[in-house]
Structure formats: C-alpha cells, structure tokens
A and B are shown apart, each in its own frame.
Chain A
Amino acid sequence: MSERYPGYDVLSKRDGPSWNEPTRSAIDARLNVPREPRFFTPQEWRTLQALCDAIFPQDGDVDPVPLAAYVDQKMAENHTDGYRHGALPRQGEAWRRGLSALEAEAGAAHGTGFHDLAAEKREDLIRRMQAGKLEDSGWGGMPPATFFEHRVIPDITHAFYAHPKGWSEIGYGGPASPRGYVRLRIDRRDPWEPAEAKPGDKAAARRKNQRVR
C-alpha cells in the first residue's frame, strides 16, 4: 500500500489476538459507511466532496477513503464533539452555512461553483478561509477561520486517520487488545508491528510486513 511501510496492512491482524470483538464490530461498521449522503443535499454534497479533495488529496490512490461520507455520517447521526465555539452554530448548521458560503465566494471571485474550480483556485480560497479573509454575507456572522479550524479540518482529517488505510500508511500498530506490546524501547519492534522501509532495503520491510498477523 504505502511506500514507507511496504506491504503493511493493519487489517491482516483483524482475526488475530490484537483485535477483540468490539473492535472488529466497530471497524467493520466503519468500512461499511453509507456512500450516499443522508444529511447533505446534492448541492452541498458536491461542494463537500470538492473540499475533501483539497483538504486531504487522494488523487492517484487506488482505493480512496470516502471522507465526505464520514462527515455526512457524523452530521446525520449527530456525533458531537462535546463543545462548540461560541461563534459557531450547531455542527450541522455550521456545515450547511459554510458550504453554501464557499459556493458564493467561488461565484463572486471566479463566476463558477466551488466544485468546478481548478485545484489551485480552490486551494487559494481555502487559504483565505483559513486566514479569515472571506467576507461573503453567506457566512452569516460565522467567522470563516473558526469554521475552518473547528469543523473543516477536524471533521475531514479525523475521518482519514480513523480508517485502517490511514493507520497502515503511517505505520501505526492499530488495535491492540488484548495482545498489547512487549518491546517498548526506542528502535524496538514487536513482530506484529509494521516495519519501516530503510534506504535500499524495502524488500526486508516488505517481508516483515507480510508476516504481520
């Protein structure tokens, strides 16, 4: 899968002693996330997908993680964070307003929809959102930078690193109950942990990773 940890797939441990039953159920459900939106309208869904592509690009990936689907699931099932910045409305309303404001900003600046923008123009608009430099009336008093920090970034990036594909890519050991770990010190690796490819010896790492169970 990834270059850094060649041949490592955290799912190869699914039926081994590092995954207990509640973990298997949770991850099975995650891998089966509904791909069609339940919360967002078709228009919002297009904008959200374009935003996900920019915030966390997966072009060229064989099997991209459906990031927009996880954002939709969080809103549809109302999984809240436990706090809300005083300048933001409730999470679903914040998303609806933010996506529609991004479309309005794209229209005003470029005469086209956000989802139709070329990549660099889209990224430029996002940088201005991050810096709080967008002022369309569609934001309705919601500060763009706060929306970016509290909704856009966490809701999209968490989705990737909650996914086994994200874990495999960064060489994370993943679920570990009940087996846990034995070798804790620096530069020590348990045989059920991912092996990093050292310069010139990717093959050794691949061999080790294919034995991970």
Chain B
Amino acid sequence: MRQFEEADAVDFVVVGTGAGGAPLIAGLAEAGFSVVGLDAGPFFRPLEDFASDETAQRQVFWTDERIVDGANPIVMGDNNSGKAVGGSTVHFAMVSLRFRPEWFKARTLLGYGADWPIDWQEIWEYYGRAERLLAISGPVTYPWGPPRPAYPYREHQLNGAAEVLARGCEAMGLAWTPTPIATLSAPRGDAHPCVYRGFCRVGCSTNAKQSQLVTSIPRAIRAGAEIRDLAMVGRIEVDEAGRATGVHYLRQGRWRFQRARNVIVAGYAIETPRLLLNSANAQFPEGLANSSGLVGKYLMTQSNQAVFGKMDQEVRSYKAPPSLTVTEHWNYCDEKDFFGGYCWMAQGPLPIEWVNVLTGSKGLWGRALREEMKDYNHQVGLKMVGEMLPDPRNQVTLTDELDQYGLPVPRITYSWGDNDKAMIAHALDQMQMGLEAAGARDVFRQENDTCHLYGTARMGFDPETSVVDADCRSWDIPNLWICDGSIFPTCGGVNPSLTIVALSLRTVDRIKALASRGDL
C-alpha cells in the first residue's frame, strides 16, 4: 500500500470507509488523485479475524458511548453503526433495493418531506453501476418500479423463513420477490459463493458478502490510495480564507494532522454531524457547514417493527442470509392514509437477537422465558423497513461528557410523529395478516425497533435549507464535502446502502467533472 506524508497535502482525505466513503476513495484514486482514507475502526481480515459468534463479533460494531433520549430513544450499536474499515457494510444485512423514483421528488409528487436536488433517471444509471460493483444476486425481473436490467448474479435459493413470507403474500394477493442481496450466488475472483452460515449481521467470515471491505477497498489500494485504520478524526481544520486544510486525528495514542486540499466526511448520520459540530472555531462558532443551522437536524431512522409467530414445522431461520424474500407492495401502492412507504422482509434472528425480542416484546423472564426460548427453531417473523418523516426536532447534539478520545459524547434525540405511528400500525396489521395466512400461530408484535440512520447534513437546493448541494459539496466551505446517509432529505421505505453507494459513485463523477473545469 502506498503511504503519504502527513505534512504533504493530499488531494482528498476521506473520513470514513463505508458505503459512502469507500467508493469515493477507490474512484478518486483511479482518477489519479492522491487519496487517504481514515477509519476509526480496525482493518479486519475476515478469514483470519472473524468468529462465528454473536458476542465475539461485537468487534465490528460502533460501541462507544452515545446518549439516547426523546420519546422513542433509538437503540444504537448493533444494527446501525459499524466501526471497521468498510464501515457498516461489514455487518449489513446486504439487502440492496432501489428507491422508488417518486421519492426523489417526495414533496412535489407525493406531498411530504422534501425534494432531492437530483433527478431519479440519473440515479437509476448509478444504481446499475452499484449493483455491478456489489455483484448483487437477484431476480431476473423485479415486480415494482420502472424497468431495470437483470441483476448481475442469479437469485439465491429460499430458506424456510423466506418461504413463509412468500406463502403469506400469495394468500393476501401481494407480489413478493427473492431479495436482491449483496452476497455471492456464484464465484467472483477469489471469493466463493455464500455458504448460508447465517451470521451476516455480525460479519461474513468467508468473504462471500460484498461489503466495501472486499469490493472498493482493495480497488482503492491497487489504485494508490492509502487506508489508515484505527484513526479517529476529531476535528477539521479551516484556514482564515474559510477553506479546509486537513484533519486532526488520534492514532496510536497521539493526535496527528493530515494536510489535504479537500476533506470528504463520510462518517454516517451520527459521526458526520458530530465531527462538523466539534470542528467549530472563531469563524464558524456553530460548527462547520452549518450556516443553515441544520447540521445534526432532521435525523431519520426507519421503523423496523416486526410480527413473530410459531410454525408447527421446523423453520430454523438461523440458516442463510436473514432476509431472502421481500414485498415492496406498500412502497408502490398509494391507497393508504399516511405518507411514505414501507416494505417487509423475512427474518433470521440468532439466539441473542431472539432473546431480545422475547424479553423486549413479551416482557418475559424467569422460567417462562427459558421455556419459550426452546421453540426457537419454530419461530418465524416478518419485519418492516418503513419511511419515517424528517422532523428538525429529531437531532444529534454534543454533550459535555467526554469519550475515550477526549471528544464530546453525542446525544441522539428521537420521537416518532403521528405519521410514523400510523404507518407502523398499518404495517403491523398487514404483516400479522401475512404471517397468520402462512400458518403461523401464537403471533405477537415487536413494536419497538428501528434501523438505519439518515438526514443530519441534508442535501438541497439552497444554503438556507440544506447543508450540501447536489454534488455533496457543503454550501459554506467549498473544499468540504459530505457523502453518506446523512445527506438524505428523505429516507424512503428501503434499506439505505445501495443508494449511498450510488450517490458515492455519482459524486466521484461530479468531482472529476468539476476538477476538469478547474472548479475544485
């Protein structure tokens, strides 16, 4: 791996190496720029470092202290925060869905949230490139939305949990499909196909999962980028002319400074605003890129409620990726009395996840809990991914408490709105109908779960109502860019990673175009 001097300004320093950062690091390095990617987490070698174990694999999560409050505090740590080279894509569930086109004009066409400053047709092209980058396995024809090419790799076989979703949908007259998913259904390079071990959400030990760690990062290194792991960025430096000059980061016990001509922040929707807010100086007392006052505001998560029940047969949903079938029916059908959409997917909780469901949703403990757990191999579930609406009161702020780096611990404040609650109620009814139609009994609801993060540095049309422009460039500081889930003005009813990768690939092209006309 090529290495750069800290004192020599590189063209780009990228903070974060996940779905937002890694494609940029690779794309910019391939375009001939000098690039250093920094990540707070370790550079894992999954074949040697990853256990088949829920507890040991907490090593891939972001488990630093964060304070959560509001009427509906968000559970952090597992399903929304990664700390590793490759970011959250090291442990994501690999579900790779495209936005519904209308969501890019949600305000104009659907009457809620905000419009994106990007046209859907343009993103459609980048979705195709993202799907090829990740060798997505999926169906030949996709039931919803405008035509799209066949997925690069064939769909996976279904597991028992996926089969139950399909049965329920067919009974209800809803379309379903094998989920487009970022794990190999055939060999690719040195990697062999998925062996269906089912530990996807704590990290793939066989490299079948097409995370950024095994896709963009090796490409970036081949193209001459440097990846510096275990490097926690604490502050972005800005000169008197109002341009970023580099980043201060803690590595091996000492604060260091990497000079750079451009800084790209890709730390996801908590760490990105935290870094911008913590970089406040005399010139920007409210934090960087924050003249709108919106850095940290409009935080969104997605509703992730579920229904679970028991089948008489053995389902053993611990086998294979957890969400091998999906229905997007309610993302594309507008005959409902709330804004936004949702999909639902098959589920495959491992034992600790499962005990969380039983204790959290049924309040079980004692002998009753231990007995109920013995039906583990018969349980089956459907889980939604639902669009929550942007609300400026949901936000990330800094506290006075310091973490192990000496940086202020973030406070994450979240409350569901009436629209969010209406959607959750609708989805729970629909999923319960589906599960019962498939033959499940003893059905119960998991009413309090969320996933994914968005919106704390939103993209928009002008500096008063947004933080970055359509090129992911901050309005206030021309050489400071943001590219991750935090730029989403709305979040849609699908998992975020494919859209983040598509935006990242588009930003590479935009930066190349701006550079070629001398506009960086």
**Residues of chain A having any CB pair with chain B under 8 Å:** 2, 4, 18-23, 25-27, 30, 54-57, 79-87, 90, 123, 126, 130, 149, 153-154, 157-158, 160-162, 166-167, 169-182, 184-189, 193-194, 196
Contact partners of A81 in chain B: CB under 8 A? 63, 76-77
Interface residue? B355 (CB, 8 A): yes
Docked Cα-Cα span, A36 to B164, in Å, equals 46
| A86 pairs with B376, CB closer than 8 A | no
Are B195 and A178 touching (Cβ within 8 A)? yes
Whether B377 is near chain A, meaning CB under 8 Å from some CB there, is: yes
Q: B198, A2: Cβ atoms under 8 Å?
A: no
Nearest-neighbour CB distance to chain B for A166, whole angstroms, equals: 6
- The reply to whether A161 and B355 contact each other, CB–CB distance below 8 Å, is yes
Q: Are A57 and B370 in contact (CB under 8 A)?
A: yes
A-B contacts at CB below 8 angstroms, number: 192
CB of A133 to closest CB in B, whole Å: 14
CB distance from A55 to the nearest CB of B (A): 5
Q: Of B26-34, B153-161, B332-340, which binds chain A?
A: B153-161
Q: Which residue, of A18, A79, A86, A194, has the highest number of chain B Cβ atoms within 10 A?
A: A86
Interface string of B332-366 (1 = CB under 8 A from A): 00000000000000000011101110011001011
Do the beta carbons of B63 and A79 come within 8 Å of each other? yes
Query: Contacts of B254 on A, CB cut-off 8 Å?
Result: none
| Chain B residues whose CB sits within 8 angstroms of the CB of A188 once the complex forms | 160
Distance to closest chain A CB from B318 (angstroms) = 6
Chain B residues in 8 Å Cβ range of A54? 366
Can you give 9 A-B contacts (C-beta < 8 A)?
Answer: A20-B205, A21-B48, A79-B63, A82-B81, A130-B363, A171-B377, A173-B319, A180-B198, A185-B159
Q: Could you tell me if A83 and B196 are in contact, using CB atoms closer than 8 angstroms?
A: no
Q: Which residues of A contact B73 (CB under 8 A)?
A: 83, 85-86
Query: A177: which B residues are within 8 A, CB to CB?
Result: 50-52, 195, 197, 199, 205-206
B159 touches A184 (CB 8 A): yes
* Interface of chain B: mostly helix, strand, loop or mixed: loop
B48→A184 contact, CB < 8 A: no
Using A169-B374, A177-B50 as known contacts, say yes or no to A184 and B68 having CB atoms under 8 A apart: no
Whole-angstrom distance between the Cβ of B315 and the nearest chain A Cβ: 6
Minimum Cβ distance to chain B for residue A189 (Å): 7
Main secondary structure of the interface of A (DSSP, over half): loop
Asked if B351 and A166 sit within 8 Å, CB to CB, the answer is: yes
User: Do A186 and B205 form a contact, CB below 8 Å, given A2-B374, A177-B50?
Assistant: no
Contacts A82-B61, A82-B76 known; list 19 others, CB within 8 Å.
A19-B52, A82-B62, A82-B64, A83-B73, A158-B55, A162-B53, A169-B374, A170-B373, A170-B374, A173-B319, A174-B52, A176-B199, A180-B206, A181-B198, A182-B196, A184-B157, A184-B320, A187-B313, A193-B316
The complex places the Cα of A196 from the Cα of B374 at a distance, in Å, of 10
A8 vs chain B, min Cβ distance (A) = 11
Contact between B376 and A56 (Cβ–Cβ < 8 Å)?
no
Interface assignment of B74: CB less than 8 Å from any CB of chain A = yes
- CB pair B316–A173 under 8 Å, yes or no, is yes
CB neighbours (8 Å) of A187 from chain B are 160, 313-314
Asked, given contacts A82-B77, A193-B316, whether A90 binds B197 with beta carbons under 8 Å apart, the answer is no
Q: Which of B58, B199, B319, B351 contacts A161 (CB 8 A)?
A: B351
Q: Which of B55-78 contact A (CB under 8 A)?
A: 55-56, 58, 61-69, 73-78
Q: Could you tell me the distance between the alpha carbons of A171 and B158 in the complex, rounded to whole angstroms?
A: 21
Residues of chain B within 8 A (CB-CB) of A196 are 314, 377
Q: Which residues in B have their C-beta under 8 angstroms from that of A166?
A: 351, 373
Q: Which residue in chain B gives the minimum CB-CB distance to A29?
A: B56
The interface size bin for chain B is 35 or more
Verify if B54 is at the interface (C-beta below 8 Å from A).
yes
B359–A175 CB distance below 8 A: no
Q: Is the CB of A170 within 8 A of B351?
A: yes
B136 interface contact, C-beta 8 A: no
Return chain A residues, CB-CB under 8 Å to B56: 22-23, 26
Residue from B63, B318, B373 in contact with A173 in the complex, judged by beta carbons closer than 8 Å: B318
Q: Are B65 and A84 in contact (CB under 8 A)?
A: yes
B367 at the binding interface (Cβ < 8 Å): yes
Q: Given A30-B55, A80-B63, A83-B76, are A181 and B377 also a contact pair (CB < 8 Å)?
A: no
Bound Cα distance A154, B354 (Å): 11
Q: Report the nearest B residue to A90, measured CB to CB.
A: B65
Question: Across the interface, do A181 and B319 meet the contact criterion of CB distance under 8 Å?
Answer: yes
CA distance A85 to B315 in the complex (A): 35
Minimal beta-carbon separation of B183 from chain A (angstroms): 11
A181 and B64 within 8 A (CB): no
Q: Is B310 an interface residue (CB 8 A)?
A: no
Cross-chain contact A83 with B75 (CB below 8 angstroms): yes
With a CB–CB cut-off of 8 A, which chain B residues contact A123? 366
Give the Cβ gap from B366 to chain A, nearest Cβ, in Å. 6
Closest to A184 in B: B159
Most chain A beta-carbon neighbours within 10 Å: one of B76, B311, B319, B370: B319
Name the A residues within 8 Å of B67 (CB-CB): 83-86
A200 to B137, CA, bound (A): 43
Least distance between B307 CB and chain A CB atoms (Å): 18
CB pair B69 A85 closer than 8 Å: yes
Give the complex CA separation of A36 and B174 in angstroms: 56
B51: chain A residues at CB < 8 Å are 20, 22-23, 25-26, 175, 177
Chain B residue nearest to A185 (CB atoms) is B160
C-alpha gap A172/B62 in the complex (Å)? 27
A166 to B374 alpha-carbon distance, docked (Å): 10
Closest to A170 in B: B376
B369 at the interface (CB under 8 A from A): yes
A6 to B49, CA, bound (A): 33
> Judging by beta carbons under 8 Å apart, are A176 and B77 in contact?
no
A184 x B365 contact (CB < 8 A): no
User: What residues on B are CB-neighbors of A83 within 8 Å?
Assistant: 65-68, 73-77, 412
> When the two chains form their complex, are residues A186 and B163 in contact, meaning their CB atoms are under 8 A apart?
yes
A185 contacts across to B, CB distance below 8 A: 158-160, 163
Which residues in A have their C-beta under 8 angstroms from that of B319? 173, 181, 184
Cα–Cα, bound, A30→B56 (Å): 10
Question: CA A79 – CA B78 in complex, angstroms?
Answer: 13
* A26 lies within 8 A of B55 (CB): yes
Q: Which of A79, A171, A184, A186 contacts B311 (CB 8 A)?
A: A186
Interface flags for B389-429 (1: CB within 8 Å of A; 0: not) read: 00000000000000000000001100000000000000000
A175 to B369, CA, bound (A): 23
Residue of A2, A19, A184, A188 with highest tally of chain B CB at under 10 A: A184
A79 CA / B64 CA spacing, docked (Å): 9
For A4, list chain B residues within 8 Å (CB): 374
What is the CA–CA distance of A15 and B339 in the complex, to the nearest angstrom? 53
B53 nearest CB across to chain A (Å):
5
